[in-house]
Amino acid sequence: MNTVIGAGIKVGANLINFWLEQKKQDQMMIAARDAETLKALLENQNKRADDPFVKVTRRILFMSITFTMCFLMIYYAMNPHITYDVLMPKGDNAKYGLFAWIFGGESWTQVQLTGGLMLASFMDLCFMVIGFYAIPSKK
Q: Which domain holds residue 19?
A: 1-50
Q: Could you tell me if 89 and 139 lie in one domain? A: yes
Which distant-in-sequence residues (6+ apart) come within 8 Å of 49 by Cβ?
Answer: 136, 137, 138
State mean pLDDT over 42-66.
Answer: 78
| Inter-axis angle of helices 52-78 and 123-134, nearest 10 | 160
E-strand ranges in the chain read: 83-89, 108-114
Q: What value does the mean pLDDT of the chain take?
A: 79
Q: Is 91 left (phi over 0), alpha (psi -120 to 50) or beta?
A: left
Task: State how many domains the chain has.
Answer: 2
Rounded Cα distance, 135 and 117, in Å: 28
State mean pLDDT over 96-116.
Answer: 74
Q: Is 97 left (phi over 0), alpha (psi -120 to 50) or beta?
A: left
End residue of a domain, out of 9, 32, 50: 50
Q: Could you tell me if 7 and 66 lie in one domain? A: no
What is the model's pLDDT at position 111? 85
Q: Could you tell me if 20 and 77 lie in one domain? A: no
Name the phi and psi angles at 108, rounded to 5: -130, 155
pLDDT above 70 (res 138): no
Q: Could you tell me if 123 and 59 lie in one domain? A: yes
Q: Could you tell me if 59 and 41 lie in one domain? A: no
Rg of the chain's alpha carbons, rounded to an integer?
Answer: 31
Amino acid at site 12: G
Confidence of residue 11 (pLDDT cuts 50, 70, 90): confident
List Cα–Cα distances, 56 to 7, 69, 110, 133, in angstroms: 73, 20, 42, 11
State mean pLDDT over 115-124.
Answer: 82
